[in-house]
Amino acid sequence: MASDAAAETGSPLVDRWTALDRGWQALALGLGIVAAHAAGQVAGLF
Amino acid sequence: MGVAAAARPYLPGLGLLAAGALLSHLAAGAVDGLQPLVVAVAVGALVGNTVGTPEVAKPGVGVDKLFLETGIVLLGAAVVVEEFLAAGPTVLGLVVVAVGGGLLLAELIARGLFRLDGTTPSLLAAGASICGVSAVVAIGRVLDARGSAITFAAATVLLFDAVTLVAFPIAGEWLGLTGRQFGVWAGVSMFSTGPVAAAGFAHSPEAGQWATVTKLARNSLLGGVAVAYSLAYTARSATDPGVRRLWAEFPKFLLGFLAVAAVANSGLLSPAALESIGRVSDALFTLAFVGLGLSIRLREMREVGGAAVGAVLVHLLVVSALALAAVRWLL
């Protein structure tokens, strides 16, 4: 999860995530949460 | 190995952060006027300095900085752009003067008054003037500083993080500052991002937002300061200068904060969605502040050197006094 835990795990998704700088991880998570809220709004949840 | 298996080592620590966050909300709900974010730091510090962080929980607890930075990205949803644009030039001017003047002042105090030499004054100056421990490590890398010098400077910064985290909200209350004044004052004067945000939210939600935004502006100057230091120390570590260094040290989550602020102010999201994003941001801050408390080690702080503490203390007193006068006058 943290960028310094960069050992290969065999999962491309996990490897790509752990190779990211923490700032990029935070940016991706934050935008993901906003996108989920936008999707929820379209679905009528908000 | 799948995603679930890779996440497993983090679960005990995440559980510990979640338990601390839940306890903080329950305690804050039971006592009138108590802020959950402040209780979170106190709960973390209490656990960290009594039973300590269990070995099995350390990987998960280390995710606290990711939670803090993600919480800051989402804080963009609470920003009213017009308000920040109105005060922006003043705050930015304050930040640039505080970082530039603060660096020179810290170097002068540490070398002239306290007779510190080598890279230590520069590491202390970076930590005190830009963004705490991450600036110490970044500038340490640029200057090829010894590991012991970096550890020493980082421990000094952490000591002041702990002290200012308690002292600033008390001082803000005593001085009768508005939320905006207190937030900008803490954002300009204090050291690391986590304690700045925690101190801001301890005062009021408005102060928390201003403290975080002001601190982000300061953090964004790290790349420029790294380039300046690598030039000042000449070719010693000039292997990666210029734009690449600027970009490498730039806090990328700041771009996320700006993107979320732009989306929130575009009118695309409903007030209910924005409110929900704010709640997620608060939850992430609470988790991060439990981790911040867990990282405060009172025993290690006693080992920090007297000259370094003296130099940083004089610097903090001068910068915070000037910044206080400036925010009272300008904001």
CB B34 within 8 A of CB A25: no
> What pLDDT, on the 0 to 100 scale, is given for residue A3?
45
User: Where residue A2 falls among pLDDT bands split at 50, 70, 90?
Assistant: very low
How much is the pLDDT for B269?
A: 93
Which of A22, A24, A42, A45 to probe the B interface (max B CBs under 10 A)?
A22
Structure tokens at B229: 């230091």
Give DSSP secondary structure letters for B47-66.
HHHHT---GGGHHHHTTHHH
Q: Which residue has the higher pLDDT, B15 or B139?
A: B15
Closest Cα to residue B126, out of B100, B151, B144? B100
Tell me what pLDDT residue B234 has.
Answer: 60
Residues of chain B neighbouring A23 (CB-CB closer than 8 A): 69, 250-254
**Cβ <8 Å between A33 and B62:** no
ipTM: 0.85
Inter-chain residue contact B72 with A46, CB threshold 8 Å: no
pLDDT, residue B1, reads 64
pTM value is: 0.79
pLDDT at B240: 57
Nearest to A26 among B1, B66, B77 (CB): B66
Compute the 3-state secondary structure of chain A and give helix, strand, coil in percent, each to the nearest 5: 65, 0, 35
* Rounded Cα distance, B9 and B286, in Å: 21
Decide if A24 and B251 are in contact by the 8 Å CB cutoff: no
Is the separation of the CB atoms in B133 and B194 below 8 Å?
no
Residue B234 Rama label (left phi>0; alpha psi -120 to 50; beta): left
Instruction: Select from A16, A29, A36 the least CA-distant residue to B65.
Output: A29
Q: What is the DSSP string of B17-28?
A: HHHHHHHHHHHH
Q: Which residue has the tokens 């006068």?
A: B325
pLDDT at B67 over 90: yes
Average pLDDT, chain B: 86
B314 Cβ neighbours under 8 A, 6+ residues apart: B109, B113
Tens digits of residue pLDDT in B230-253: 777 765 555 555 667 667 777 788
CB of A8 within 8 Å of any CB in chain B? no
Assign B137 a pLDDT band (cuts: 50, 70, 90). confident
* Residue B207 scores a pLDDT above 50: yes
pLDDT score recorded for residue B297: 77
For tokens 């920003």, the residue is B79
Q: Which pLDDT value is given to residue B146?
A: 81
Residue A31: is its pLDDT beyond 90? yes
What pLDDT sits at residue B147? 75
Q: How far is B159 from B149, CA to CA, in rounded Å?
A: 15
Q: Is the predicted pLDDT of residue B184 greater than 90, yes or no?
A: yes
Q: Do A22 and B263 touch (CB under 8 A)?
A: no
CB atoms A30 and B260 under 8 Å = yes
Residue pointed to by tokens 């930590």: B127
B260 interfacial to chain A (CB closer than 8 Å): yes
A33 contacts in chain B (CB < 8 Å): 70, 74, 277, 280
Q: Is A44 on the interface with B (CB under 8 A)?
A: no
Query: What percent of chain B stands above pLDDT 90?
Result: 41
Q: What is the DSSP string of B267-311?
A: T-S-HHHHHHHHHHHHHHHHHHHHHHHHH--HHHHTTS-HHHHHH
The pLDDT value recorded for residue B143 is 79
Interface of B with A in 142-201 (CB under 8 A): none
Q: Select from B250, B255, B269 the Cβ nearest to the Cβ of A38.
A: B269
Window from B125-134, B167-176, B280-289 with minimum mean pLDDT: B125-134
Q: Is A36 on the interface with B (CB under 8 A)?
A: no
Query: What token pair was written down for A19?
Result: 């190779």
Q: What local confidence, expressed as pLDDT, does residue A14 receive?
A: 86
Burial of B51 (0-12, 13-18, 19+ CB in 10 A): exposed
Mean pLDDT across the stretch B148-170?
86
pLDDT at B97: 93
CA distance B40 to B53: 15
The token duo for B17 is 């952060």
Lowest mean pLDDT among B75-84, B96-105, B132-141, B240-249: B240-249
Q: Does B73 touch chain A (CB under 8 A)?
A: yes
Q: Report the pLDDT value the prediction gives residue B228, as an integer from 0 to 100.
A: 82
